[in-house]
Structure 1
Amino acid sequence: MAQLPPGIRFITSFSRDQWYRAFIFTLTFFLYASFHLSRKPISIVKGELHKHCAASHEVELSSYREYAAQTQSVKKPSNASQCGWEPFDKNNYKQLLGALDYSFLCAYAIGMYLSGIIGERLPIRYYLTVGMLASGLFTAMFGLGYFCNIHNLWFYIMAQIANGLVQTTGWPSVVTCIGNWFGKGRRGLIMGIWNSHTSVGNILGSLIAAYWVSTCWGLSFVMPGVIIAVMGIVCFLFLIEHPKDISCSCTPSSSSKAFLNGASRFRVQMPTLNAKETSKSQDSEMQHLLIDSENSMTSQNSNTMGTGEGRHGTSAISFLGALRIPGVIEFSLCLLFAKLVSYTFLFWLPLYITNVEHLDAKRAGDLSTLFDVGGIFGGILAGLISDRLEKRASTCGMMLLLAAPTLYMFSTVSKMGLEATVVMLLISGALVNGPYALITTAVSADLGTHKSLKGNARALSTVTAIIDGTGSVGKQELGCGRLKQKIFEKLCSVQILSRLGIVLELRGRANLVFSITNVPMFEGG
């Protein structure tokens, strides 16, 4: 018998379940990368909406006051072609650009709380598809202002509000889907790698927007809008919400092979076991897993949980019920401050680089991607460490503690030259986005499947929405419109405040240590 080709041997070395998990991992990775790809253009185009054409005048005003006074009337521009795109070409451009950010972030924060509740009760594939198609429409709508020569501020604000609302469909949906397919054993590392889609999307969005920004900034929005809409169609055609949908045996809660929880491993048998007979010999957590496994193998007609039951035979958790899950409030407060810092860099870093390094909008946009490159390594490192230590909170707290002095150094070191800026961008990106990535992925998934739920409620989407929505409330403070020394000092303070959220979480765990046992992923340092 002839030996199989190496490629075929490689394919057959993995089981059907493993291939499906790899497929869902890759698909959801690119689905949410397209969300961030469509959010990035606004930060790149800001430098084109207002071109800082008065920079030379400002320098002369500070150095040669008399000469500037004589030439002020000549150097001050009065039309959009010289100073940007009306109405952003005026002296109040910072307030107007900040209004665009506020519009998006306020809509996103409000919509996120509703999105989790709605998404918990609708099929993820349909919900995510509609959200991606709508996101593509409203992202492209902003760019149409260029082609239609629209100079009304409210047009751009409404486009941002609409886009912020529909973008909330993404995060709860993909986290719920990935949480359905992967258990807790190596969730930190897996989701740390998976969460790099945020940085990949930001990098691709920056490069695409920067390519068109100087020649036709409308395409900087239209092209990302087309991309996310196409990915929405891909989502409709290929997304599998749950392993049960294809009779896959890798469901985290009812695996027919083995269930991983930290370093421990146990096997779930076929549903011939009576849960009542084993209640005395099994701990409470094992009982819930066995009962869940038994129920999942019965027909759907045998599920009699009432009118509130969903597609998996369990009722969706309420908003207040999700808040009562231990750790949700504490990690939400932590993310409120951590996300403020991350999104301050996301929205304003290219403009800051333009002012400090005196680069054009395209080169500043390209350079700003290094912050996201650092974020990729930071997210993976945070996930790996938290898995090894089995302590999510301690990992986040340590990285946040290191991030505070790093941000203070950034504003000083970055003025020493381009090389220093590159190094600080990589380090800051890792320390800022590392804990942010860990909280929004592995921590959210852990809390959404917390043992206190006893397997009787679907909470992943709602918990994810609460944590991310609270973080989005913090993002609204970035509307300051400038990254200067005082702002970096504020960011340092914010990082320290985010650390306080971790302290609250650790104290809460200490108080519950005698009543809640065997919760390795949330033990303190």
Structure 2
Amino acid sequence: MQDELLDVVMEPKPPLGIRCLPPVTRDVTTKSRLYRGFILVFTFFIYASYHLSRKAISVVKNAWSCNQNSTDNSSNGANCTSWKPFDGDHSKVYLGSLDTSFLIAYAVAMFFSGHLGDRMKLRYFLMIGMLGSGLFTAALGFAHFLNIHVLAYFVVVQVLGGMFQSTGWPSVVAVMANWFGRGNRGLIMGIWNSHTSVGNILGSLIAGYFVHHYWEWSFIVPGLIIGSLGIMTALFLPADPDEVQALPPNHHEFSVENNPLMNARKVSTASFTSTGSQSSKAVGICKALQIPGVLEYSGSLFFAKLVAYTFLYWLPFYIHSTLKDSAGKPVSKTKAAYFSTFFDIGGIVGSIAVGYLSDILKVRGIACVLMTVLSIPALFFYELYGGDSEKMAIALSLICGFFVNGPYSLITTAVSADLGTHKSLEGSEKAKATVAAIIDGTGSIGAAVGPFLTGWIAGSDSETGWKNVFYMLIVASALSGLLLTRILVRDIRNLFKRCCKKRERCRYEVESVQLTELETIFVSKYRNIGVRF
């Protein structure tokens, strides 16, 4: 009796919003498929809102520290307006310090966020993070209304904003890993991870719309969006199939047949009833670091995010500073913001392509290294020809986005989910958020270093500063690939073994067919002369 009462008390309950809705279907297989589709879409918009809110500052940099040669017209009719303390000779360094303060806080808090995410209700953890992110994003806009010109205010707001932003990634990866098995995870998460680029695009469009005359709303509107979505997350996000009595995924099979999204009917009801026996014990950071591949992918992501976040925070500023219009004058702030979205469009295609490639190969390392190596010539040509014309800037932004965001996307999504459900963690199922936090937290340290170095290098020399920035990015891409050397060798060896086994199996099947045909001929021949078998 006590055991039955305990089961009732400990049974996971659906979110409040879902409890208020009528059930869609009673068939558990159909219900599981519908919920997986809902999770895919809902978490997509959840994390898109995180990037939407953090993108605004890269656009508003042009308003805070504008180019005196710009043709933009401000609200008072002058050629250029700026905002102290970002209007002096050290403007690039100050702006870089804002990016660095945000990303260092984000990286440090990430390790604690993953630890907390594996021990709290993920939907409430996300709600807290999204409300805090919205508040401190809007606080940057409040500086205009309050007439604040103190650098410390902006730094403190960025630090607090980074801490709350760190709740997003480990939580949404944990939710996705709870709902989706390993079998097309690369493709599914490649499509899903386009939320990063979609959020950047929406953030650029929203901030670009207001930046000319009302830059404060470039922060306030994204803050309202992510805060509102945070409330919806607490009401409607089932973080685990158990909460809505849906079928669980298979985490240890790498085939399409075992992917619950593609073939949910093949998952037996018995596996659903057996999930209650799984251990809910969470793992510590030390144990998570011992999972094979965590250290290599963490180091690689350090340099991959250094490159990606340099583009995220500085690309609109770079375009505005280097690209000329048909009259030979710098393009407007709004146009620079819109042009920067092509990098993210390329990133969407790259994320999907690298995820699909990793599923075909059934290994992640080869796909990561291939895309990383190809990003090096893309960066080199962007530096050479990116400022020649608007068409060339768009084309090279698409290409760079494709190759830069591809491996970064794969490591932070499918690789993190794979390692968070690694076979070495049997008996400790709650490791997904911790592993995602370790990998992305290490990468976020690189993301903090990149924008800071960019501000310092670009501001040190007006003639060669940006060229040196691209050299830095090329070296970082090369190091990102080199750190995956052991993973690459292992994956090539496994791929070769799998091909050999497949060839042997095909050869055996051919020989079996040939023997069967000979046997049939032999039997029919001797049967004709009266021999009995």
> Shared fold (TM-score greater than 0.5)?
yes
Q: How many residues align?
A: 449
The equivalent of 2:479 in structure 1 is: 497
What is the one-letter code of the residue matched to 1:296? T
**CA–CA distance in 2 between the matches of 1:203 and 1:55?**
23
The equivalent of 2:258 in structure 1 is: 259
- Contact 2:369/2:488 (8 A) holds in 1: no
What is the one-letter code of the residue matched to 2:59? I
Q: 1:334 to 1:225 in 2, by over 3 A?
A: same
Q: 1:325 to 1:254 in 2, by over 3 A?
A: closer
Q: 1:486 to 1:253 in 2, by over 3 A?
A: closer
TM value normalised by structure 1 = 0.80
**Is the aligned partner of 1:442 residue 2:405?**
no
The equivalent of 1:473 in structure 2 is: 445
What is the one-letter code of the residue matched to 2:478? I
1:401 to 370, 373, 376: 373
**CA–CA distance in 2 between the matches of 1:174 and 1:339?**
18
- Contact 2:281/2:427 (8 A) holds in 1: no
**CA–CA distance in 2 between the matches of 1:262 and 1:209?**
36
The equivalent of 1:296 in structure 2 is: 275
The equivalent of 2:522 in structure 1 is: none
The equivalent of 2:404 in structure 1 is: 432
CA offset at residue 83 of structure 1? 4.6
Give deviations 1:284-327, integer Å, cap 9, x for gaps: xxxxxx7xx664256xxxxxxxxxxxxx6421011000000000
The equivalent of 1:342 in structure 2 is: 308
1:375 to 347, 357, 378: 347
**CA–CA distance in 1 between the matches of 2:267 and 2:406?**
34
Q: Structure 2 matches for 1:187-226, cutoff 5 A? A: 187-226=185-224
**Is the aligned partner of 1:147 residue 2:145?**
yes
The equivalent of 2:176 in structure 1 is: 178
Q: 1:263 to 1:499 in 2, by over 3 A?
A: farther
Secondary structure of 2:182 counterpart? coil
**Is the aligned partner of 1:44 residue 2:59?**
yes
What is the one-letter code of the residue matched to 2:258? F
- Contact 1:254/1:268 (8 A) holds in 2: no
**CA–CA distance in 2 between the matches of 1:82 and 1:296?**
62
CA offset at residue 267 of structure 1? 6.4
Moved more, 469-478 or 343-352: 469-478
The equivalent of 2:110 in structure 1 is: 112
CA offset at residue 253 of structure 1? 5.0
Percent sequence identity over matched residues?
A: 45
- Contact 2:98/2:158 (8 A) holds in 1: yes
What is the one-letter code of the residue matched to 2:357? I
CA offset at residue 205 of structure 1? 0.2
The equivalent of 1:18 in structure 2 is: 33
Q: 1:487 to 1:266 in 2, by over 3 A?
A: same
**CA–CA distance in 2 between the matches of 1:222 and 1:344?**
24
Give deviations 1:127-183, integer Å, cap 9, x for gaps: 000100010000000110011111111111111000000000000000100111111
Give deviations 1:395-451, integer Å, cap 9, x for gaps: 000000000111011011112211111110000000000011000000000000011
Moved more, 470-479 or 316-325: 470-479
Q: 1:459 to 1:411 in 2, by over 3 A?
A: same
CA offset at residue 262 of structure 1? 13
Q: Structure 2 matches for 1:67-82, cutoff 5 A? A: none
**CA–CA distance in 1 between the matches of 2:487 and 2:252?**
29
Secondary structure of 1:457 counterpart? coil
Q: 1:390 to 1:264 in 2, by over 3 A?
A: farther
- Contact 1:117/1:462 (8 A) holds in 2: yes
**Is the aligned partner of 1:353 residue 2:351?**
no
The equivalent of 2:387 in structure 1 is: 415
Structure 2 gap ranges (5+): 1-26, 72-77, 324-329, 459-464, 496-501, 503-533
The equivalent of 1:91 in structure 2 is: 89
What is the one-letter code of the residue matched to 1:259? N
**CA–CA distance in 2 between the matches of 1:200 and 1:423?**
18
**CA–CA distance in 2 between the matches of 1:440 and 1:242?**
20
Q: 1:176 to 1:90 in 2, by over 3 A?
A: same
Q: 1:30 to 1:83 in 2, by over 3 A?
A: same
- Contact 2:183/2:257 (8 A) holds in 1: no
Secondary structure of 2:128 counterpart? helix
CA offset at residue 454 of structure 1? 1.8
**CA–CA distance in 2 between the matches of 1:265 and 1:500?**
39
Q: Structure 2 matches for 1:221-300, cutoff 5 A? A: 221-253=219-251, 259-260=258-259, 295-297=274-276
CA offset at residue 490 of structure 1? 1.2
**Is the aligned partner of 1:330 residue 2:296?**
yes
Q: 1:496 to 1:258 in 2, by over 3 A?
A: closer
RMSD: 3.0
What is the one-letter code of the residue matched to 1:244? D
CA offset at residue 359 of structure 1? 1.0
**CA–CA distance in 2 between the matches of 1:229 and 1:461?**
22
Structure 1 gap ranges (5+): 1-11, 57-79, 272-289, 299-311, 514-519, 521-525
Q: 1:265 to 1:364 in 2, by over 3 A?
A: closer
CA offset at residue 15 of structure 1? 2.0
TM value normalised by structure 2 = 0.79
Q: Structure 2 matches for 1:310-329, cutoff 5 A? A: 313-329=279-295
Give deviations 1:58-89, integer Å, cap 9, x for gaps: xxxxxxxxxxxxxxxxxxxxxx9955101111
What is the one-letter code of the residue matched to 1:177? V
**CA–CA distance in 2 between the matches of 1:84 and 1:42?**
14
- Higher Rg of the two aligned structures: 2
CA offset at residue 91 of structure 1? 1.0
Secondary structure of 1:220 counterpart? helix
The equivalent of 2:425 in structure 1 is: 453
- Contact 2:252/2:423 (8 A) holds in 1: no
Give deviations 1:444-476, integer Å, cap 9, x for gaps: 000000111124331100000000000011112
**CA–CA distance in 2 between the matches of 1:505 and 1:33?**
30
Give deviations 1:25-53, integer Å, cap 9, x for gaps: 11000000000000001000000001122
Q: 1:266 to 1:219 in 2, by over 3 A?
A: closer
- Contact 2:70/2:331 (8 A) holds in 1: no
